[in-house]
Amino acid sequence: MRILIACEFSGIVRDAFIREGHDAISCDLLPTERAGPHYRGDVMDIINDGFDMMIGHPPCTYLSYAGTRHWNAPGRCKNRLEALEFFRLLWESPIDKICLENPKGCASPTISKYTQEIQPYYFGDNDIKTTWLWLKNLPQLMHFETDDLFVEKTHAPKPLPEYIDSNGKPRYFTEAMKGKDRQKARAKTFPGIAAAMASQWGSA
């Protein structure tokens, strides 16, 4: 299949699909962090180029509920509406199979209700980051908490929090995700999730 990985600079999802034998290309305003097929620019420039599937990672800065303390800051409403419009354009693009991923936020149900909620540790990565998937013509990702006669366990142990903040809230991100590149680090798809997408949807 021809697969577009929209709004990805890391190349993690793109390379997972390439390893499964697909013609995958990533697209972002930033250059790719690893060598591979990548269009640097606006995804709308290439979205009509006949892709069979799109995995999209629309920017979540103005959509995520993590930023609700800034909800009414000057300019925030305009930015949020623009982010929702971009999400809509991806969701309604002329591509048969679509997955959009984002943290919990106002795109559900404003654009469409999310389809599935996943965690990195469901797919073997030792981390917690609640992620919503919006799926069109794709099945939900399968993951298994335990082994049985038919399936092999995919879950890693649920991680313990890295620390508890001053408000008593558990925090799960590592020190590497708290520096100046924290936003970029948190935007990357976890390898286990990328591998599950490629192996399960690569034959969908």
Which pLDDT tens digit goes with each residue over 74-107?
999 999 999 999 999 999 999 999 999 999 999 9
pLDDT reported for residue 163: 76
Task: Provide CB contacts within 8 A for 163, sequence distance 6+.
Answer: 170, 171
How far is the C-alpha of 129 from the C-alpha of 110, rounded, in Å? Answer: 22
**Residue 15 pLDDT > 70:** yes
Q: Is 120 exposed, middle or buried (0-12, 13-18, 19+ CB in 10 A)?
A: buried
The better pLDDT of the pair 137, 178 is held by 137
Mean pLDDT on 130-144:
97
**Residue range(s) defining the domain that contains residue 175:** 2-201
Q: What is the mean pLDDT of the chain?
A: 91
Token pair belonging to 179? 């520096």
The CATH number of whichever domain residue 195 belongs to comes to 3.40.50
Predicted model pTM: 0.90
Q: For the chain, how many structural domains are there in total?
A: 1
